[in-house]
Structures are given as C-alpha cells and as structure tokens.
Amino acid sequence: MRRLVRGFKDPVTRPRFIAWTGVGVIVLGTVLVAALVGTSTRWFCNEVCHVIHYDNAKQYWASTHANVSCIACHIPPELDGVRFAAEKAEKLTDVWETVTGTYHLPLNRDSYIALSMPEYYCTQCHNLSNRPVTPSEGIIIDHEVHSAEDVACAICHNRVAHPQVFELELPGNEKAEDFMVMTACYRCHTLTGESPSEFVATGACGACHPADFELVPESHFADDFYTPYGDSAGHARMALAEESATVEAQAYWAERGPELEAKRPGLISRVLRIPHGEFVNLPPVAAVNECETCHRSDVFCIGCHSYEMPHPVNFVEQHSALGDADPDGCALCHNNTGDPALNPTACDQCHHPAGDPRVSWLEQHAEAARATDILTDCYACHQELFCSGCHVQGVAPTRY
C-alpha cells in the first residue's frame, strides 16, 4: 500500500501509475461487462451453468420462447445496472450446488416461480391491446377481466416456456402440473361460491364455453361408465380415484403452501429492493376434484344415490337402516342385472348369495334355512324373533 502511495506521489512515476490504473479499471470493467453479458445468454444458461436444468432446457428449445433470453423472464425487467449486477451476483450461490451435485429435484416444484411472477414480466413483450388472442376451440377467455382481478399471466400460462413435450431424464425429476387444464381453472372458478384459492369466479359453463360446445367429456361415453341397473363401474372407479387423489393433494398443500408463502427473496434483493413479485396461494391442480368442476357432489351425487358418496367409513354398520329407507337407491349400484323389477332383491345378491336374484327370496328362504346354520348365518343379520313374526304371529316383521 505504501509503495502505491509513493508511486502516486512520485512525479516521475505518477503518469505511469495513472496509466496502468486506468488500464486495470478498463480491463476489470470489460471483464465485468463481458461476464454479465455472457452469462445472460440463453446458451450460457442452458449449456454451461444450469446443467441441472437439462430437462427444462430441452423443453425450452422446443417452446415458442426459444428465441427469448432466459433472463427476460427470470430476472425482473427494467433493472438499473447496479441492481442487475447484484441480482446476477446473488445467484452465485447456485454454483456450489451445481458443482457439488447437492441440488434437489424436481426444480421449482409446484410452479412457485409462476405463482409469484408479476404480469409486467410478460407484458414487456406481449401487448394484449394490439395482440390477437386465439384460445383453443370451444374456449372463451377474457384476459382483461383476469388482469383486472390481478390474475397474472403465469398463473395460467405456467408451462409456456417449458412445455414439457419431451420425457424427463434426470433422476428424481418429475413433470410440473399444467395450469392450462380445466381442473386448474377451478382453483378459482367454482360452482359453490367457495374456492380453494384467494380468487373466486363463477363456474357456470357459459362463462368459458360457447353454447354449442360439447360439455360431456369423452370418458363418459365409455360402455361401462354409467348404465342404469347395469355396468356402471366406470364412473365409480373415476370418482373413487379422483376423491383419493384430491384428499392426498389437499393434505400436501396444507403443509407445502405455508412454506412457499413464507419464502422470501435473498438478502441482496431485499436490501436493494429488487422486485420479485408476491406469492399467490393457489393449490396444486390435483387438489381440485375434477368431477366437481361440472357436478356439485352434495347435489348431483346424493341426488342420484340418495346417500353420501363415496360411502363413509362407518357405512357398513349403518347401511341396513338406510336400505330400509330407500332400497331403490341401493339398487342403482347393487342391482346390475339391467332389470329394475329386481330392485327389491338387490340386497339378496350379497346377503343371500345362495339364492336366485331373479326370484323373490321369500319363495327360496325355506330351503336355504334348512341347509344352513341359522344361529351363525341367519342371526348374523336378523334378530332371533325375526322368524316368529311370520311363522308364529303371522305378521311380517321388518327386514332385520
């Protein structure tokens, strides 16, 4: 340090000192600018630095945004030089994880970036006032309404730059959910007036579909989907699978959602007030029951079945009394003979498997009773005085 001070004060060496200092500053500035520019290219992001993004890079090169630099979406636009350099420097912490292989997959699980990306990230390029919007056939989308309600673009268009058209190869990686499916819309749209997110919008069909749109999904036309008093296993399997997936996803989000909501930008971003948007609490698509995007379960399912569907855990203990109340309701599922006339014998198909469901059990029960252990089999369901109601008193008792 003393030598530098002496060199600056010495009138002989001062010009040389100033010249070399200037050269050093120019070289350092050139290196810095080259580093900032070079590390901001989509080539560097995908081929050099983010090797952990190998799967995402493949999708990116196949997307409509393949000619758009990564930083256009992943760094807040319109930053000044100082804050831009600071934003880049803050990401240096990722280098260690990349080199040591300590990063975790899948990256950006739950599309956290999409759920916190402000609208102006997109409108810096896309001006909807002069851009024709071409939604898929049969879909009506009012972007102005969504924008007015602070529903940012990426909340729906989360896979626009990484469409995931290729299979993922990195161990532990998995595809992110696509928010452009109808079930995802019902994180905000609702038939009941209650939504699982902070947004609430109508779930009426006409709000998003023209009058001539076929509302019934193709899956509902399968042979076994629903046939009254026939093979209806298709819709039951779908309903049970959807209910199971929904419960699992809701439990996951109850734990994961608060973690993401509490997440904050890095120290440099907070000190320099670099904007990164605010997290929007939208649950995973799987947390929405797909059946309930068209049907209100408390009205549609119970209106048909007469009972809670799927049956509650204690249903076996209760179903005898319910069956007395509405045997035809039971027969919708349990009489699969195709003949509504056999509704009263639907219970017999399980409880009297030795009988012929096409014939009244009353006509068959005497032979069956003689061939079985009444104490073990018959009294498992019937009270001990059940038989005497007919055979002694001559008055038909209740079923049980």
d(CA 201, CA 105): 34
**Domain presence at residue 187:** yes
Mean pLDDT, residues 79-100 taken together: 82
Our count of domains for the chain comes to 2
Tell me the residue range of the domain where 62 lies: 39-129+136-293
Q: Is 159 exposed, middle or buried (0-12, 13-18, 19+ CB in 10 A)?
A: buried
337 shares its domain with 278: no
Specify which of 56-60, 111-115, 126-130, 134-138 reaches the highest per-range mean pLDDT. 111-115
pLDDT for res 264: 85
Higher pLDDT: 171 or 13? It is: 171
How far is C-alpha 102 from the chain's CA centre? Answer: 27
| Any domain includes 25 | no
Q: What is the pLDDT of residue 285?
A: 95
Q: Work out the pLDDT band at 242, boundaries 50, 70, 90.
A: very high
CA 190 to chain centre: 15
Q: Are 368 and 354 in contact (CB under 8 A)?
A: yes
Q: Is residue 367 part of a domain?
A: yes
Q: What angle do CA 272, 277, 278 make, to 5 degrees?
A: 115
Does 287 share its domain with 346? Answer: no
60 vs 8, residue with greater confidence: 60
- Lowest average pLDDT, out of 50-54, 110-114, 178-182, 224-228, goes to 50-54
Q: Are residues 328 and 215 in the same domain?
A: no
- Do 257 and 355 lie in one domain? The reply is no
Residue 78 lies in a domain: yes
Please tell me whether residues 249 and 353 are part of one structural domain: no
297 has pLDDT over 80? yes
Same domain, 180 and 72: yes
Whether residue 7 lies inside any domain: the answer is no
Asked if residue 195 lies in contact with residue 187, where contact means CB atoms within 8 angstroms, the answer is yes
Whether the predicted pLDDT of 107 surpasses 90: no
Residue pair 199/149 in contact by the 8 Å Cβ criterion: yes
Kindly state whether residue 398 falls inside one of the protein's structural domains: no
- In a domain, residue 212? The reply is yes
99, 207: one domain: yes
Q: Is the pLDDT of residue 109 over 70?
A: yes
Measured on CA atoms in the order 184, 148, 110, 136, is the torsion positive or negative?
positive
What is the model's pLDDT at position 20?
67
Tell whether 61 and 205 lie within a shared domain: yes
Return the exposure string of 243-257: e unless at least 16 CB atoms fall within 10 Å of the residue's CB, then b. Answer: bebbeebbeebeebb
Predicted local confidence at residue 104, as pLDDT: 81
pLDDT at 294: 92
Of 10 and 142, more confident: 142
| Each residue's pLDDT tens digit, 302-343 | 888 887 887 887 887 777 766 666 777 788 888 877 888 777
**C-beta separation of 73 from 121 below 8 A:** yes
Q: Is residue 193 over pLDDT 80?
A: yes
Please report the pLDDT score of residue 8 as a whole number: 52
Mean local confidence (pLDDT), 369-374: 80
My answer on whether omega of the bond before 106 falls inside 30° of 0, hence cis, is yes
At position 27, the amino acid (one-letter code) is: V
> From residue 203, how far is each of 70, 185, 194, 292 by CA, in Å?
35, 9, 10, 10
Q: What's the gap between Cα 83 and its chain centre?
A: 35
Query: Are residue 171 and residue 281 in the same domain, yes or no?
Result: yes
Are 53 and 125 within one domain? yes
In a domain? residue 286: yes
